[in-house]
Structure 1
């Protein structure tokens, strides 16, 4: 099966920047250390400051925690209700006729999170900029500064698809399903519980394998590794197309890097454990595995 065409190069984006149906978004968020005594594992800082310092011409900015996450939970970045998302995407000019391109800074995980959310809402015309702003700047391409000009508001109507997000109960059940493989996108030291976790108990969801999102990216350009290399990493962990895959990480963000590449490789039965270790590690009723 050929790779699904949801990745766009910097050269390809340059050629379509003037198209009226393009909706180009910087999705960057920064995670800052939480103050001592805080119940939160980190503070979420929207990347408006870096956006205003330099962004791809014409781009708008999306605030993941501020506009596109559930405001009624202590967990960061949880998927909100559909009505909230319809309003938020519509406010940023996204409609059924839009062509959406997403990027972020330092890592594509903020862009892949938005990609996963849009896919779950039934929106298909969405692609990621390979290498994000890092590669764009590395190549000396033009930048614009200042606040976002934004797009004319539009009507965004979702067509939600089931199964894209699972909760802790479904994830626990998946640990004993022979046809399901659970993959952790955190680094191996956190997967093995070798280092203290900012989420709570160190370790992993029992039985889960480890394909760190960081190993799926070129450390210099921040572009994705070649598909063949990604597929080899997944297969080495027993992830095959005949199995359902449940991915998780710390906050439901970096796991979408794994999901993006699995999707491009033709895997269809994919789900994200939205609460991830931010929820699992704090819940003493849930089993945890180390070593």
Structure 2
């Protein structure tokens, strides 16, 4: 069974061996409470600047050619300040079904943290506190020396690879935006999958595996094909990418440039559903 998206009981049983990262705003972490032992690394601290993060540019604000990332030095400093080491097992959560926490995990993966040691809490803080203890006491951690060491290959691809994928029958290009955005214009041949289709509003976690697989099958998002994701916000890509990893999809990639960039490169968009 996958341990990428993990239930609250799994986390509660392993708190002593985990580094728990809460990506909510500091006022929520302090004022509402948090998972015991968690450290606060707010989403805005590890996102790219606002212009890039909304997909209005190529997203390469990091200066290291890696999409909508905060920059290697900035990310290393954040994790060092939180006392996180390179070999730590990390579980992240937010209070928005995991979409912001998933971005933290994907950022860590792109900067070289072992993806097998990165976990997303199934649900969010609201789901956690229904059955588990919370605290307002901040845990103290000594500063570490986290070292960013990006792998030679990552799932992040460039515009040319996306263009090639549109002509590849073994690849399905997936647009994770909302319906109205997709209708206004999308990469030719793409299918649409809103990340919220995969979560249950009542439990705040993922829908049952069978339901998710049925949704994916309807769109032709098959584990036997390469899946290439794109969006105009990195967090939505990240959540879908994390869920597909959880389901065992072996060949995943994503593009973090914008459709403005796509058109500026002389490429056309399709319109309509």
- 1:177-202: per-residue Cα shift (whole Å, max 9, x none)? 33221111122232223xxxxxxxxx
User: 1:4/1:12 Cα in 2 relative to 1: closer, same or farther (>3 Å)?
Assistant: closer
Contact 1:134 1:221 in 2 (8 A): no
- Higher mean alpha-carbon deviation, 112-121 vs 80-89, is at 80-89
Q: Distance in 1 between matches of 2:249 and 2:124?
A: 24
Q: Distance in 2 between matches of 1:218 and 1:276?
A: 29
Could you tell me which residue of structure 1 aligns to residue 220 of structure 2? 238
**Contact 1:185/1:254, CA 8 A, preserved across alignment:** yes
Asked whether the 8 Å contact 1:252–1:275 carries over to 2, the reply is no
Question: For this pair of structures, how many residues does the alignment match?
Answer: 255
1:222 pairs with one of 198, 201, 204: 204
- Look up the match of 2:65: none
User: If the length of structure 1 is used for normalisation, what is the TM-score?
Assistant: 0.78
The answer for the alignment partner of 1:152 in structure 2 is: 142
> Any stretches of 5+ residues in structure 1 without a counterpart?
29-46, 194-202
* Residue 175 of structure 2 corresponds to residue 179 of structure 1: no
- Quick check: 1:50 aligned with 2:28? yes
CA distances 1:97-155 after superposition (whole Å, capped 9, x unpaired): 32211001122111111222223324231211111102113x15332236x44532223
Partner of 2:230: 248
Greater percentage in helix: 2
Distance 2:100 2:187 in 1: 23
- TM-score, reference length from structure 2: 0.83
CA distance in 2, matches of 1:283, 1:64: 30
Q: How far has the Cα of 1:281 moved from its partner?
A: 7.5
Structure 1 equivalent of residue 84 of structure 2: 94
1:251–1:276 contact (8 Å) kept in structure 2:
no
- Name 2:42's counterpart in structure 1: 63
Please state if 1:75 is matched with 2:64. Answer: no
CA distance in structure 1 between the partners assigned to 2:210 and 2:140 by the alignment: 38
Q: Could you tell me how far apart the structure 2 residues matched to 1:257 and 1:70 are?
A: 17
The correspondence of residues 29-40 of structure 1 with structure 2, limited to 5 A, is: none
Which ranges in structure 2 are unaligned for 5 or more consecutive residues? 54-58, 60-67
Secondary structure of 1:190's match? helix
The separation in 2 between residues aligned to 1:92 and 1:173, in whole angstroms, is 41
Query: Helix, strand or coil: the match of 2:52?
Result: coil
One of 99, 124, 127 as aligned partner of 1:132: 124
Q: What CA distance in whole angstroms lies between the structure 2 residues aligned with 1:27 and 1:276?
A: 25
Query: Could you tell me which residue of structure 2 aligns to residue 27 of structure 1?
Result: 23
Alignment partner of 1:170 is 2:147: no
> Does the 8 Å contact 1:230/1:261 carry over to 2?
no
TM superposition shift of 1:6: 1.6
Alignment of 1:16 with 2:14, yes or no, is yes
| 2:56 match | none
